[in-house]
Amino acid sequence: MTVTEKTFPIPTQLFINGEFIESSSPERFSIYNPADGSLVTDKIQYAVAEDVDQAVRSAQAAFRSKAWAGITSQERGRILKRIAKAIEENKEELAWLDRITMGKPVTNGVGEAQFTADIFEYYAGWADKHAGDTFPADDGFLKIVQHEPLGVCAGILPWNGPMATIAFKAGPALATGNVMILKPSEKSPFSALRLASLLTDILPPGVLQVLNGAGATGELLARHPHIRKISFTGSGLTGKKIQRAAAESNLKRVTLELGGKTPAGIFDDCNLENAVQWATKAITSNSGQICIAASRVYVQESIAEEFTAAFVKSIQASATDIGDPNSSETRFGPLADKAQFSRVQSFFTEDAGKTQILTGGKQHGETGYFFEPTVLYNPDPQAAVYKNEIFGPVACVRTFKDEEDFLQMANDSEYGLNAAVFTKDINRAMRVSSRLESGTVGVNCVTMLHYQVPFGGSKQSGFGRELGAYGLKSYTEPKSIYVNLNS
């Protein structure tokens, strides 16, 4: 059943100081629908240096204005609640705007919109509760620590979760009194633009702005001398460029949430059915286009045959849910665009003969950029498909003998974003969890993320944390104040 045939206006301009404006550049760019390859628009505008400067000036004015800096933290909380409500009331439109750019199925898109609203509501509750500290004046000095906003912040968004990552960055930034400039991915800019325009009656002009653009626009933000913080979600290669630009400009604060290659350890005492369900969900959600996808599945030798057979059967069943993203029956959409489809395909060209394909490994259908969910068995440890992030529905299954064997393979990676262990032995679960080199570990679950707890990685998966109370800290500067009580 097709949920809706309704279409909405497509925003193509920049959103600066509370309104849509034309880019200073005459160039225009195109976006195509990955479900059928059709042109969505050829009128997308990108921000150039003049536009970035204009947005920063507007942001600086908003940051210092009475309309924003002069309100109480309780009032900021009310504003964030209104933002959450606006997202909820317009979630079908926001989901549609992402659906036509990256093929996210309607149920997934509406779910992401609701998740985005939930994050804003969560940070609304924090706005008047992010307290400082005081220390005893037993030496004659009262010591006070207060948390102050940084000022103009920038958030560079990924294409795979274009709505949720708005809240990851803007939620804690606004809750702590900062102002935010967002640069959505050039592949999926519409929901960020539309959301900003929905908030013109809620936020003062300049508090939340959106600049379309590709890498050149992101570099302008990273190098701008008046931006105090940049939060980036995306590839490791781009993350390094962001960090370098931030250091070479004004040493702006940086949060990087980069790639992942999640290892999931399936031990022989696990609930097998539960492990299969989670492993399937973890590689098929968003068509595998998530940084915490469990793309390395390690199975203890004694249950390898049983688990692998059940896993392949489950993956094959998930392929029956591939289809029209507009249908409520669809759970599995296309890859984001031709470039991403070609990238996933390239792994199978490069690694031909280095791995056994148990199911999938090829295009689904003849129209659009659909790729079959895939299971590979005992790939060559040096194969690109095993070592590198694929960002597609491809899981590599390898066997292990014992805990030490699993830990050695799981930690033998430059990624450290997410990991999992499946076992009924709580002692083993805690022992293994503590030794997995990862920012997040799931026990009898995998690919978990919740706004109450911090999210981020170790090693080349980035640094800094988003979500939870930790997300607030990255948007504030602690200031220590000494009061001489003997003066």
Mean pLDDT across the stretch 370-382? 94
- Does residue 4 surpass a pLDDT of 60? no
The structure tokens listed for 473 are 């800290």
Residue 179's closest CA among 155, 163, 158, 202? 155
pLDDT at position 354, please?
74
- Does residue 377 surpass a pLDDT of 50? yes
pLDDT in tens, 76-106: 999 999 999 999 999 999 999 999 999 999 9
Distances (CA, A) of 390 to 319, 336, 387, 440: 18, 13, 9, 20
pLDDT at position 1, please?
45
Mean pLDDT across the stretch 25-38? 96
Q: Which of 93, 219, 257, 372 is catalytic?
A: 257
pLDDT at position 352, please?
65
pLDDT in tens, 328-359: 889 999 999 999 999 999 998 876 667 899 99
Cα–Cα distance between 467 and 167 in angstroms, integer? 9
- Does residue 403 surpass a pLDDT of 70? yes
Fold of the CATH domain 14-259+462-479: Aldehyde Dehydrogenase; Chain A, domain 1 (3.40.605)
pLDDT at position 100, please?
96
User: pLDDT above 90 covers what percent of the chain?
Assistant: 95
Sequence spans of domains, the chain: 14-259+462-479, 263-443
Mean pLDDT across the stretch 454-473? 96
The structure tokens listed for 300 are 């203890």
Strand duo 19-21 + 476-484: pairing: unpaired
Q: 3-class DSSP state for residue 229?
A: strand
Fold of the CATH domain 263-443: Aldehyde Dehydrogenase; Chain A, domain 2 (3.40.309)
pLDDT in tens, 98-131: 999 999 999 999 999 999 999 999 999 999 999 9
CA 138 to chain CA centroid, Å, is 46
Mean pLDDT across the stretch 464-482? 96
Mean pLDDT (the chain) is: 96
The question of whether 291 is a catalytic residue gets the answer yes
Contacts within 8 Å (CB) and 24+ apart, 426-432: 428/267, 428/403, 431/403, 432/265, 432/403, 432/406, 432/407
Strand order in the sheet with 133-135: 133-135, 141-149, 476-484
Mean pLDDT across the stretch 21-29? 98
Cα–Cα distance between 98 and 286 in angstroms, integer? 12
Neighbours of 22 (CB within 10 A): 11
Q: Which of 93, 219, 270, 291 is catalytic?
A: 291
CB 423 within 8 A of CB 302: no
Residue pointed to by tokens 């690919």 = 447
pLDDT in tens, 180-229: 999 999 999 999 999 999 999 999 999 999 999 999 999 999 999 999 99
CB 100 within 8 A of CB 40: yes
Query: How many alpha carbons fall within 13 Å on the CB side of residue 286?
Result: 20
Residues in the chain: 487
- Does residue 278 surpass a pLDDT of 60? yes
CB 151 within 8 A of CB 228: yes
The question of whether 257 is a catalytic residue gets the answer yes
Mean pLDDT across the stretch 244-249? 97
